[in-house]
Each structure stands twice: as C-alpha cells, then as structure tokens.
Amino acid sequence: MAIFALSFENLYSPAMSQVIQNKSIRKIFRLLLAGMLLLSFSTVKANEEGGEKFDAGKMIVEHISDAHDWHLWGEHDHAVSVPLPIILKSEKGLHFFMSSAFHHDIEGKHVVENNGERFVMLHNHIYYAADSATAEGGYVTVNEKGEATNAAPLDFSITKNVFAMLVSIALLLWIFLSVAKAYRRREGMPPAGMQSLVEPLIIFVRDEIAKPSIGPKYKKYMPYLLTVFFFIWINNLLGLVPIIPGGANVTGNIAVTMTLAIITFVITTISANKNYWQHVFAMPGVPVGVLVLLTPIELLGVFLRPFVLMIRLFANITAGHIIALSFFSLIFIFGEMSTGLGLGVSVFSVAFVIFMSLLELLVAFLQAFVFTLLSAIYFGAAVEEHHHDHHDAHEGAHSH
Amino acid sequence: MELIKPSIGLIFWMSVSFFTLLFILRKFAWKPILNMLDEREQNIAEALNTAKKAREEMASLKADNERLLNEARLERDRMLKEARDTRDAIIAESKDKAQQEANKIMAQTRETIRTEKNAAITELKNQVASMSIEIAGKILRTELGNDEKQKSLVQDMLKDIKMN
C-alpha cells in the first residue's frame, strides 16, 4: 500500500512528496531488505532439506498466470493460500465448491466429486477426472506435447484475477461514488479531499484525451473513456502492490485486455459513420488500381488496431511483473549456490526491484493513458466528418 | 503458451463486471461529476466576465469621476475668477464713484467757499464803506465844526483845483 500511496503523493504537491518519498522509500527499502533476507534464508534451508531445484521460469509463469486460489506462501502440502470459489458448468449443470477442495493439488491427483461429476486440477486447469488413475497416480492423461487430453468443463470460477478485479471495481466504485457525492454536497465550491485528487485526472481525460481526439461529439464517449482509464490505472497500480489483494496480474492478462479491446472495437464500429467506411473501403482521391492494394490493408487495420491495443497493454504490464520477479529469482538462484551469495545478491535485487517499481508506476499511468488515448482516437476517426487534411494525422497517431 | 490463451471464465467475469462498473459509474459518477465540472467552469467563466465588466465599469466610472472633478475644478476656478473680477470691478466702481462724489463735494465746497468769500468780501466792503462814511461823517462833523476849518478846507481845495 505504501507504493500505492506514494503515487498519489507524487501527483500532489511536489515539495511535500519529495520529503515523504525519501522517507518512505528508505522505509520500504529496509522492510523489503529484511523480508528478502529472511525469505532467502528459509528457502535455502528448505531447498537443502527437500533437494528440489528452484525453477525461476516456472515460478514467474505461476505468478503472472491466473490461479484458482490465492497462493500466499509455502509449497504443495505446506502451502498457505486463500481459497476462492470454483464455478463450473458441465452437462449435468453448475458446480460450486471452494478451491481448497483440491488440497493444493495441481498434478491431477486429487479428485473432487461434486453434483455427480469428478474433477481434477492440472496446472490451474480443471478437467473431468479419468475413471482410473495413470501409473503416476494422476487422473489426467497427457499427450506428447504436454497437453491434457481429458475433456474440461466450462470454467467460470472466481479466480485470482477475477477476485482482484472485483476488488479493484469495489475500490473504483467507492472512490468515484463518494467523489460524486462530494460534488453534489459541495456544489459550487472548490474541490476538497479525494475530489481534488481525481478532478485533475478527469479533466485530463476530458481535455487532453477526449476533446482533441474525438472533437465536438466527445461527450458521448466520456463515460467509457473515464471508466477504462481508471480501471486500467487502478488495476496496474494494484498489480504493483505485493500483498493481497494486490499483486495479481489483471491488466497483464490477455482475457482482460482482449475484453477491453473488443469493447473499444465494438464502440468504434457502431459509431462509425459513412465517412469512416468510405476511408476503409474506398479512400477518396485514390485511383482504383491503388485501392485494390489499399482496401485490404485498411480493412486489416480496422481489426489490427484493437488487436494491437490488446497486445500492448498485456505485454507492458506482464513485462513489468516478469522483470520484478526475475530480480527476485536471482536471489534464489544464487542462494542455491551459497547462502552468502544469495544474501549479497538480494541487496542488488531489491534495489533493482524498487527502481523497476518506480518505473512501473509511470508505466501504470502511461499504459492507462495510451489505451484511453488510442480508444479516443479510434472513436474520433469513426465519427469524424468529411475532412481530408486530418486523415494523415490519424494515421500517424496509430503507430504508437 | 499458457499466457496468451484467454480463458472464457475471465472474459465472462470481466465483461459482466466491467459493464456493471461502466453502467453504475456512468449514471452515478461520471454524469454528475462532468455536469458539475461544466457548471463550475461556466460559473467561473461568468464570474470572470462579470469581474471584467465590473472592472471596465469601474474604469469608466473613474474616468467619469475624473472628468467631473476636472469640470468642477474648472468651474470653481472660473467662479473664483469671476468673483475676483466682480470684486475688483465693484471696488473700482466704488472708488470711481467715491472719487466723483469727493470731487463733486470738493467742487461744491469750493463754490460755496467762493460764494461765501465773495459775500463776506461784499459785506466787508459794505461795512467798510458804511464805517468809512460814518467815520468820514464823524470826521467831517469834527473837522468842519467851526468856520475856520471850513474856510481852510475850502482854501486847500481851491488850491488843488488851481493846480489842475
């Protein structure tokens, strides 16, 4: 939460935040350092006892992927995690149970029976359990590519990402409903408290994103642009907070970014006027011979834009998480060689992670801004009236 | 690749929760907030305009005041000058009149003096004449009281006549 608070302070008074920043950075640094030292000690010990090698790639992918429970610490039988509800749709109907029913099993060995169906979990995917166990004791058969061949039910579980997203939505609702109330209560008065924090951002979205990109029809798109901006930003920030309910990779999940990109695409397509389609299918002032080449490219561009929107957000946020986790992994990799080496590396790793976190604070805002700006530019292109001179400017903006 | 496979469950929950969020915020947050912001901006613009107008009015009032003051000052100067002129004129006139009156009085006085003097002279002459006659008469009476004296006088007179 300290990092989260820090970002708000940064937006506020520069002189004040300078003081707070220095103090809290030092505090965070000390805390993290102490925590990391302790953690690396215990892991090194555990590894010596268990003899299991630390796999950085596996650890990182596990952290940035979605999960059916919120893993806190420990491995396998010693794991401590927050159980989350599992909701499955099979041919026999809906199935509800908590993820703790699997007892932290991710190898398809523990069968859960519910409502006449048998389920197993293999690497955070839920499959129908086979009738009998394989030689290794699992109920899932795996082909040579490592993919499970079992059938799977439709999975509508409240996963880690869904849970984190719901938390972020609750946070957004709390912030903006109370701010809206403050506006009603303090009508005609200057903003105060939370109001003065979000008002510059709302005005920023309106005056720097919506108005210049969309033009006179911007008002219709303001609710979506504001919602998407704050949704992405808050989730990006929560992703930087290392403790529950932060630390999930919501905006670094392809399903989330895909949904957002599709909404932008649908709004663009619905609001597109004749001028927009004319530019796609028959660019005015272009000879027919060139149109044969240009139209497919333009048509491709229509679908490519939301696709790029999806990939950009996903890749940026996931990359941030991967980098932070990689630096932490270094501690464990060197810790396996020798305890002293791990301790030495931890100092540099933590320093780098703090540096990266500060950079990610910027990225969190930047990606929310870019997604909102590009959405606004696409809406602007869709509702733009007949103007030739503006066309080039839009094409230029697409190559962000 | 696990990472780039979107899961149906997350898409479902994402759509449901995002649209709910969008709906609630649109109705209860964005609309009132944006309206309030617009309203406030309008109010500020109006207030600024009013202030500007007031300032302009003040400036024009001040100019008016200045002009009035100048006019008043000029008027005052003019009136003062007029008063001074009138005073001077009155004084001059009074002086003239006084002078004339004085001259007149002097002239009259002189005339009176002259007349009185003439009268006095005349009276004096008359008195002197009468006194002379009286004296002459007395003298004559005294001188010519006896015959001798009358004879010598006639003699004297005759002598004088002879000379002539």
How would residue A179 be classed by pLDDT, with cut points 50, 70 and 90?
Answer: very high
Question: Where does chain A show beta strands of DSSP type E?
Answer: 69-73, 80-83, 85-90, 93-98, 112-114, 117-122, 125-128, 154-155
The shortest CB-CB distance from A155 to any of B7, B15, B17 is to: B7
Best interface-test mutation with A: which of B5, B27, B33 has the largest number of A CBs within 10 A?
Answer: B33
Is A255 within 8 Å of B43 when comparing Cβ atoms? no
Q: Does residue A41 carry a pLDDT above 60?
A: no
Residues of chain B whose C-beta is under 8 A from some C-beta in A?
2-15, 17-18, 20-22, 24-26, 28-34, 36-37, 39-40, 43
Of A61, A226, A231, the CB nearest to B18: A231
Question: In chain A, what residues touch B20 (CB-CB under 8 Å)?
Answer: 169
pLDDT, residue A22, reads: 53
**Chain B touched by A185 (CB under 8 Å):** no
Q: Partners of A187 in the beta sheet?
A: none
pLDDT in tens, B14-37: 999 999 999 999 999 999 999 988
Sequence-ordered list of residues with C-beta below 8 angstroms from that of A98, at least 6 positions apart, any chain: A83, A84, A85, A86
Among A157, A227, A318, beta carbon nearest to B21: A227
Within 13 Å, how many C-alpha atoms sit on residue A385's CB side? 3
**In the structure, what pLDDT confidence band is assigned to residue A49 with cuts at 50, 70 and 90?**
very low
Cα→Cα distances A348→A23, A172, A337, Å = 20, 35, 17
- Min Cα separation B16/chain A (Å): 10
Question: Cβ A223–B22 below 8 Å, yes or no?
Answer: yes
Least confident of A21-25, A191-195, A245-249: A21-25
Q: Is the pLDDT score of A208 beyond 60?
A: yes
Q: What is the pLDDT of residue A11?
A: 38
Summarize the confidence of residues A356-383 as an average pLDDT: 94
Residue B4 lies in a domain: no
Partner-chain contact A66 B14, CB within 8 Å: no
pLDDT at residue A118 tops 90:
no
Q: How confident is the model at residue A369 (pLDDT cuts 50, 70, 90)?
A: very high
Contact status, residue B14 vs residue A250, Cβ threshold 8 Å: no
- Whether the pLDDT of residue A164 is over 60: the answer is yes
pLDDT of A393 higher than 50: no
Confidence at residue A129, expressed as pLDDT on a 0 to 100 scale: 85
Tell me: the pLDDT tens digits for B59-117?
999 999 999 999 999 999 999 999 999 999 999 998 899 889 989 998 998 999 999 88
Residues 8-67 of chain A with CB under 8 A from chain B are 61, 64-66
CA of B57 to nearest chain A CA: how many angstroms apart?
A: 26
Please state, rounded to an integer, the average pLDDT across all residues of chain B: 89
Q: Please give the residue range of the domain that contains residue B150.
A: 33-163
What is the mean pLDDT of the segment spanning A265-272? 94
What is the ipTM for the molecules in this complex? 0.79
Which pLDDT band holds residue A47 (cuts at 50, 70, 90)? Answer: very low
Helix/strand/coil for A371: helix
Average model confidence (pLDDT) across chain A: 82
Nearest CA in chain B to A189: B40
SS3 A224: helix
Instruction: Lowest mean pLDDT of A286-290, A305-309, A310-314, B100-104, name the range.
Output: A286-290
User: Which residues 6+ apart lie within 8 Å of A121 measured at CB?
Assistant: A68, A102, A105, A106, A108, A110, A127
Q: What is the Cβ-side half-sphere exposure of residue A300, based on CA atoms within 13 angstroms?
A: 5
Tokens read off for A111: 């069968």
B-chain CB neighbours of A158 within 8 Å are 13
The predicted structure's pLDDT at residue B20: 95
Q: Does A154 touch chain B (CB under 8 A)?
A: yes
Residues A10-32, mean pLDDT to the nearest whole number: 48
pLDDT for position A388: 53
What band does A176 get if pLDDT is binned at 50, 70 and 90? Answer: very high
Give the 3-state secondary structure of residue B43.
helix
Band (A201; pLDDT cuts 50, 70, 90)? very high
State which of A237-246, B77-86, B139-148 shows the largest mean pLDDT.
B77-86
Lowest mean pLDDT among A55-69, A135-149, A159-173: A135-149
Q: Looking at chain A, which residue has its C-alpha nearest residue B33?
A: A180
- A392-396, B13-17, B45-49, B101-105: lowest mean pLDDT where? A392-396
User: What number is the average pLDDT over the span A171-185?
Assistant: 92
Q: What is the mean pLDDT of residues B122-135?
A: 85
**A183 interface with B at CB cutoff 8 Å:** yes
In this prediction, residue A44 carries a pLDDT of 43
Among A65, A172, A314, the residue with its CB nearest the CB of B21 is A172
Show the CA angle centred on residue A365, arms to residues A360 and A367, nearest 5°: 85
Confirm whether B12 is domain-assigned.
no
Domain count along chain B: 1
Of the ranges A69-78, A224-233, A294-303, the best mean pLDDT one: A224-233
When pLDDT is averaged across residues A306-321 and rounded to a whole number, the result is 93
Angstrom distance (rounded) from CA B2 to CA A122: 13
| Count of beta carbons in the 10 Å neighbourhood of residue A158 | 18
pLDDT confidence band for A2 (50 / 70 / 90) = very low
Q: What is the pLDDT of residue B75?
A: 94
Percent over 90 (pLDDT), chain A? 34
For residue A62, what pLDDT band results from cuts at 50, 70 and 90?
confident
The answer to whether the CB of A67 falls within 8 A of the CB of A124 is yes
Nearest-Cα distance to chain B for A7, in Å, is 23
pLDDT at A26: 58
Task: Count how many pairs of residues, chain A against chain B, have C-beta atoms within 8 Å.
Answer: 115
B interface test, pick of A60, A171, A176, A205 with most B CB neighbours within 10 Å? A176
Query: In Å, what is the CA distance from B58 to each residue of A161, B73, B157?
Result: 64, 22, 122
Task: State residue B154's pLDDT score.
Answer: 84
In a domain, B117, yes or no: yes
pTM score of the predicted model: 0.72
- Length of chain B measured in residues: 164
Q: With an 8 Å Cβ cutoff, are A184 and B5 in contact?
A: no
